[in-house]
Amino acid sequence: MATATATATATVADAGAIYETFGGCVIGSPGGIDMHRVILHSDMNAFYASVEQAERPELRGVPLVVGGHEETRHGIVLAKSAQAKAAGVKTGEALWEARAKCPGLVVVPPRYDVYQRYSALARRIYYQYTDLVEPFGLDECWIDLTGALALSTRAPLDVAREISQRMKDELGCTVSVGVSWNKVFAKFGSDLRKPDAVTAITPENYQQLVWKAPVGELLYVGRATRAKLHSSGVDTVGDLACASPELLRRRLGKVGLVLRAFARGEDATPVKPFDPTRNEVDRTVKSFGNGLTCPHDIVCAADAKALIYLLAESVAQRLREARFRASTVSIGVRDAHDLTSYGRQTTLPRATNTTGQIARMAWELLSANEPLDEEHPLRGLHVRASNLEPMDAPQQLDLGFDARRRVLEDLDETIDDLRRRFGNTCIQRGVELMDESLLDLDVKRDNVVHPVGYF
Ligand SMILES: [Mg+2]
């Protein structure tokens, strides 16, 4: 297999070659696609709410939401049970709105440690079939059964149904499972029918099932991409699959070609096994980022600063674990009024991976751009570090700078070590303690970071 580096373009150099695009996605040319792979995408339905109902029998069958702290008037719905969904309750709406729609609604606060435990229990079931299990967020995984089934007479759908049944019996949670020869279609299958369903996307039915769907339902086609495609007359996945490569390249750049290949079932990206030492982030990533939709609107500088430090800390910790430094720090800001977002970034003369430096840069960006008061509430924040270089890359010597950095790096190393031994919440910076609702939130662990920045 000929693979290129992360800087490869999506140009098809020679027919039959399989090449890697940026971000670790692999596209095969039509002749080079292995349609015999068996890839499952398993998605736990209404995850937080299902876990609460599994843990507390008295909550089963009742309309339930997991939501922000009840005493704050800004609390929002983070997750809803099937019964609450039936009453029209939506994720992200205010708790008072949800209550108005659904009298008798039960609201429970999130318990991220419990969701983390269920996430691990689910993976433990998947691991009994293969070690090729790739988490995608807390409640979703891709599972590559190709090798496991090559030695067996079992049909892929039988195994998918067995996994689904075991999740119900052993965890008390339903899943929707998609089965296909590639990750993008497997994910599509698990989204197509839910809850508690197994859907196969096959070479025989994909044009019927996938191509008829709106293009936005394809993984990685976000709102901005969808709008650009729409203005070019591309509205369904089938339109995208059959669009001219020149048109897509002109409208979207190389991403357009990658998405077209995905629509055609030419995604050859491998399922990357979970590796805790890599912290679920592939080494070909171009950036590390972490963001959070807040449990309540942020209307003061102290809360915003606490969140920025929390996010920056997890980003810096990941950089250090993957042995990178970054010289660009960016923030993403989501407005609570109209839910629009924007980004700002800044570049340092020298790459860094210390929490203090990354947090300070992110905080300076935010405080320079936002008044942070009651009139300008924020709903979400994101911190990202990019322009990566390996930690062992040579840096120009500067004695004063290096001595200062040595102190900061030593401090971070000590904190990392404590956290490795006692858990991520064992030690927190003073600034984080300003917002009590963030105390039990463990950002690095609860928000699995997806490699970001390519689509
Ligand atoms: Mg889910």
pLDDT band at 283 (very low <50, low <70, confident <90, very high): very low
Q: Ligand 1 mean position to 194 CA, how many Å?
A: 9
Identity of the residue numbered 438:
L
Tell me, what's the pLDDT at 274? 61
Tell me, what's the pLDDT at 100? 94
Query: What residue numbers does the annotated binding site for Mg(2+) cover?
Result: 43, 139
Q: Exactly one of 140, 321, 370, 432 is catalytic; name it.
A: 140
pLDDT band at 10 (very low <50, low <70, confident <90, very high): very low
What's the pLDDT tens digit per position in 213-257?
A: 999 999 888 778 899 999 999 999 999 999 999 999 999 988 899
Mean pLDDT confidence for 275-281:
45
Closest CA to 197 of 381, 42, 32, 417: 42
What's the pLDDT tens digit per position in 388-411?
A: 887 765 555 555 555 666 666 766
Tell me, what's the pLDDT at 432? 46
pLDDT band at 1 (very low <50, low <70, confident <90, very high): very low
pLDDT of 204 higher than 70: yes
In sequence order, which residues have a C-beta less than 8 Å from that of residue 224 and are 6 or more positions away? none
Winning range, highest mean pLDDT, from 120-124, 193-197, 294-298, 407-411: 193-197
Tell me, what's the pLDDT at 303? 80
As a whole number, the mean pLDDT across the chain is 80
Both ends of the chain: CA-CA distance in Å? Answer: 24
Tell me, what's the pLDDT at 9? 31
Closest CA to 175 of 125, 221, 107: 125
pLDDT band at 341 (very low <50, low <70, confident <90, very high): confident
What's the pLDDT tens digit per position in 351-370?
A: 998 888 999 999 999 999 99
Q: What does the block give as tokens for 312?
A: 């920056």
Alpha-carbon radius of gyration of the chain: 23
Q: Ligand 1 mean position to 30 CA, how many Å?
A: 31
Pick from 81-85, 273-277, 317-321: least confident: 273-277
Mean pLDDT confidence for 178-187:
97
Neighbours of ion ligand 1 (CB under 5 A): 43, 47, 139
Tell me, what's the pLDDT at 425? 59
Question: What domains are defined for the chain?
Answer: 37-210 (3.30.70.270), 287-446 (3.30.1490.100)
Tell me, what's the pLDDT at 427? 57
58 is catalytic: no
Closest CA to 64 of 32, 43, 91: 91
Could you tell me how many helices (H) and strands (E) the chain has, helices first? Answer: 16, 14
Q: What does the block give as tokens for 380?
A: 């979400």
Produce one character per residue of 395-414: b if its CB has 16 or more CB atoms within 10 Å, e if not.
eeeeeeeeeebeeebeebee
Tell me, what's the pLDDT at 446? 40
Sign of CA dihedral 148, 150, 153, 158: positive
pLDDT band at 301 (very low <50, low <70, confident <90, very high): confident
Q: Ligand 1 mean position to 46 CA, how many Å?
A: 6
Q: What percent of the chain has pLDDT over 90?
A: 45
* 384: helix, strand or coil: strand
Tell me, what's the pLDDT at 62? 94
Backbone torsion region of residue 258, taken as left when φ is above 0, otherwise alpha when ψ lies between -120 and 50, otherwise beta: alpha
Q: Is there a contact between 284 and 435 (Cβ–Cβ < 8 Å)? A: no
Q: Ligand 1 mean position to 138 CA, how many Å?
A: 8
Backbone angles phi, psi at 308, to 5 degrees: -60, -45
How far, in Å, CA of 388 to CA of 180, rounded? 34
Winning range, highest mean pLDDT, from 62-71, 171-180, 321-330, 372-381: 171-180
Q: Ligand 1 mean position to 191 CA, how many Å?
A: 9
How far, in Å, CA of 430 to CA of 305, rounded? 11
Q: What does the block give as tokens for 208?
A: 């019927």
pLDDT band at 32 (very low <50, low <70, confident <90, very high): low
Backbone angles phi, psi at 245, to 5 degrees: -55, -35
Q: Is there a contact between 317 and 404 (Cβ–Cβ < 8 Å)? A: no
pLDDT of 197 higher than 50: yes
Give the CA distances from residue 321 to residues 23, 45, 276, 353, 436, in Å, rounded to whole numbers and listed in that order.
19, 32, 10, 10, 28
How far, in Å, CA of 285 to CA of 387, rounded? 10
pTM of the model: 0.62
pLDDT band at 112 (very low <50, low <70, confident <90, very high): confident
Backbone angles phi, psi at 98, to 5 degrees: -60, -40
Pairing of strands 140-144, 133-135: antiparallel
Give the DSSP letter of residue 171: I
Q: Is there a contact between 381 and 331 (Cβ–Cβ < 8 Å)? A: yes
Closest CA to 161 of 123, 121, 112, 197: 197
Between residues 56 and 417, the one the model is more confident about: 56
Tell me, what's the pLDDT at 115? 85
Backbone angles phi, psi at 268, to 5 degrees: -110, 15
* 25: helix, strand or coil: coil
Tell me, what's the pLDDT at 380? 87
* 71: helix, strand or coil: coil
Give the DSSP letter of residue 219: T
Tell me, what's the pLDDT at 4? 31
pLDDT band at 453 (very low <50, low <70, confident <90, very high): very low
Give the CA distances from residue 344 to residues 28, 330, 347, 362, 382, in Å, rounded to whole numbers and listed in that order.
35, 6, 11, 9, 10
